[in-house]
Structure 1
Amino acid sequence: MKDIPVHQLKERVNTGLEIRRFVAGEVPKKYENLGAHRDDHYIFFVIEDGAASLMIDFHELSFSSSTLYYILPGQVHHRIRNEVGCGWFIAIDSLLISPDYRNVFESRLQLQQPYPLNEEQLKLCTGILSLMCEKYQEENPGPFYLQVVHSLLQSFVGIAAGCYSDFDKQHNLLSRPDQLAQQFKKLLLTNIRQIKSPSAYAAMLHVSETYLNEALKKVTGFSVSYWIQQEIVLEAKRLLYYSEMNVKEIAHALGYEDHTYFSRLFKKVEGTTPLLFKSDYRK
């Protein structure tokens, strides 16, 4: 039996993001028949007009005009319909979303709801996305092309995080696995450089490693070790992209004395070496 496929953004683009505007009834061929799948990146939608529906981890969500929504890495989803909806689709590599913003988005794991944008917020979002799309699609990119695109992206993500941080929280009680998943990911964000042992995180959460593993698999579909490795590589990608540190220095900063072991781990998770990743992203 085939597992649920995981779609990787790096297989489609090398810029860390993908953006397109869709109109009513338009489904590009490369997005047809995707079926249920996971992504290794964030997806944001801004619905300008009409309506659309998605199935997210067995929950059907409907989107009306002037709404914002996001899908977390690892959530199983598939499109139900978008025949009458128009708006924006933005896929974003996790490394381009700061830990502060991620904390806002991930604190609502499995519970994120469409955010109703007021007229001013919708105008602001669509204005930034239109400018970003225009720059992103330039046929002859000039100097600082990627930096400008990423700066516009940061503006959009910041607005989205601001919307959700002010969003009235749902009062539904979280299940124990949901609570553990949220608590684990928050610990991971702040401790990944020092702590990489699944048993250590289980001890910090006062549960057994087996139970924590079962909870993570139930909520996200992935194990504790998977998320630890993903967070290590994500932090490494940030350092490769934003800092001037070399691979050996990054390995040491992340707690690895053996930088060759770190490089093997990076390649295992990312499918490329740290140096190749750096050269691809910092062209």
Structure 2
Amino acid sequence: MKDIPVHQLKERVSSGLDIWHFVPGDEPDEEDTLGAHRDDHYIFFVLESGSASLMVDFQEFAFVAGSLYYLLPGQVHHRINAGVSYGWFLAVDSLLVTPDYQQVFEDHLQLQQPFSLNPQQLKQCQDVLSLLYEKYFEDDKNPFYLPVVHSLLQSFVGMAAGCYSQLNDKRLQSSRPSQLAQQFKKLLALHIRKVKSPSAYAGMLNVSETYLNEALKKITGFSVSYWIQQEVILEAKRLLYYTEMNVKEIAHDLGYEDHAYFSRLFKKAEGITPLSFRSSYRK
């Protein structure tokens, strides 16, 4: 293997999410036993029974019944035991994780541990996920199919963010590369409309561009330039999904005078045009 494979959610689904419920008697999917890989999206697990262990960025995490866990885009992970576990699996496009929720999850980079749900929290998660699962597999010709599905998804992700926001990890010391990665991503969210130069972000952080690249690659597996493009595309997706702005307006809002160039950039990254993306997500 020359490089760690990256699994892309858009290759599996067009709705921005994928959800599965595994119950006793189900056999593990072949993909469940694949080796180390990254995903370009968030993954959430709610374990209802059994046990499981994951290796995430060289750290082993054990799960028991009643556990909630998430993986960030870019984290390297693979399953490391042969035990059988049952519960919920949810893959979510970063577009559908709002910035305030993202901040909660990103703040736990390198620190996230399985969250032990109390009986009430577990039941609430199960209820929301069950309804999401039911609506997700209904007839998607309903004109309100995606808004309903996405609203239910937001409810669960908000509940997960609420659980993790209760944790006080400030006492834990993260590495310098981890701190830089967190600081860089916060700066990126603030300045992406006007600043797209890797060297400019390195300057804001008082480090060399080379060192910032090394830190980002160590923590996330990707370069500064990659994350700048990802942030541009993610913000473009948000504007396409949540607003009525046309492509030219969105391009200008994101700092591109040439909207045709912006459209080519978007298509190269996503494989579809901005308008095709809007129509596929807002049926």
Shared fold by TM > 0.5? yes
Q: Match for 1:132: what amino acid?
A: L
- The residue aligned with 1:31 is 31
Contact 2:140–2:146 (Cα < 8 Å) also in 1: no
Q: Deviations over 1:169-203 (max 9, x none)?
A: 16332111111001101111121112111111111
Q: Distance in 1 between matches of 2:9 and 2:140?
A: 23
Q: Deviations over 1:87-131 (max 9, x none)?
A: 100000000010000000011112211111111110101000000
Name the CA shift for 1:92/1:82 in 2 (closer, same or farther; >3 Å).
farther
- The residue aligned with 1:265 is 265
- The residue aligned with 1:15 is 15
- The reply on whether 1:112 has 2:112 as its aligned counterpart is yes
Q: Deviations over 1:2-41 (max 9, x none)?
A: 2111111011011100011113463454524421111000
Name the CA shift for 1:110/1:27 in 2 (closer, same or farther; >3 Å).
farther
Q: TM-score, normalised by structure 1?
A: 0.96
- The residue aligned with 1:40 is 40
Q: Distance in 2 between matches of 1:90 and 1:157?
A: 10
Q: Distance in 2 between matches of 1:117 and 1:32?
A: 24
Distance apart, 1:136 and its partner CA: 0.5
- The residue aligned with 1:52 is 52
Distance apart, 1:140 and its partner CA: 5.8
- The residue aligned with 2:162 is 162
Contact 1:42–1:94 (Cα < 8 Å) also in 2: yes
Contact 1:51–1:82 (Cα < 8 Å) also in 2: no
Q: Match for 1:280: what amino acid?
A: S
- The residue aligned with 1:244 is 244
- The residue aligned with 1:216 is 216
Q: TM-score, normalised by structure 2?
A: 0.96
Q: Deviations over 1:230-269 (max 9, x none)?
A: 0000000011111111111100000110111111211222
Name the CA shift for 1:35/1:27 in 2 (closer, same or farther; >3 Å).
farther
Q: Match for 1:95: what amino acid?
A: L
Over the aligned positions, Cα root-mean-square deviation in angstroms equals 1.5
Query: What are the ranges of 5 or more consecutive residues in structure 2 without an aligned counterpart?
Result: none
Q: Distance in 1 between matches of 2:130 and 2:264?
A: 40
Bigger shift: 26-35 or 89-98? 26-35
Q: Distance in 2 between matches of 1:34 and 1:118?
A: 31
Q: Distance in 1 between matches of 2:2 and 2:26?
A: 29
Contact 2:51–2:84 (Cα < 8 Å) also in 1: yes
- The residue aligned with 2:103 is 103
Contact 1:43–1:70 (Cα < 8 Å) also in 2: yes
Q: Distance in 1 between matches of 2:281 and 2:60?
A: 36
Bigger shift: 28-37 or 216-225? 28-37
Distance apart, 1:279 and its partner CA: 1.6
Q: Deviations over 1:125-183 (max 9, x none)?
A: 10000000011011464230111010000000111111111113163321111110011
- The residue aligned with 2:204 is 204
Name the CA shift for 1:177/1:140 in 2 (closer, same or farther; >3 Å).
closer
Contact 1:20–1:88 (Cα < 8 Å) also in 2: yes
Q: Match for 1:180: what amino acid?
A: L
Q: Distance in 1 between matches of 2:68 and 2:98?
A: 19
Q: Distance in 1 between matches of 2:132 and 2:70?
A: 18
Name the CA shift for 1:25/1:76 in 2 (closer, same or farther; >3 Å).
farther
Q: Deviations over 1:181-226 (max 9, x none)?
A: 0110111112111211111111111111111011101111100000
- The residue aligned with 2:148 is 148
Structure 2 counterparts to residues 154-193 of structure 1, below 5 A: 154-169=154-169, 171-193=171-193
Q: Distance in 2 between matches of 1:216 and 1:196?
A: 16
- The residue aligned with 1:93 is 93
2:80 counterpart SS class: strand
Q: Match for 1:148: what amino acid?
A: V
Q: Distance in 2 between matches of 1:13 and 1:231?
A: 21
Query: What are the ranges of 5 or more consecutive residues in structure 1 without an aligned counterpart?
Result: none
Q: Distance in 2 between matches of 1:128 and 1:82?
A: 29
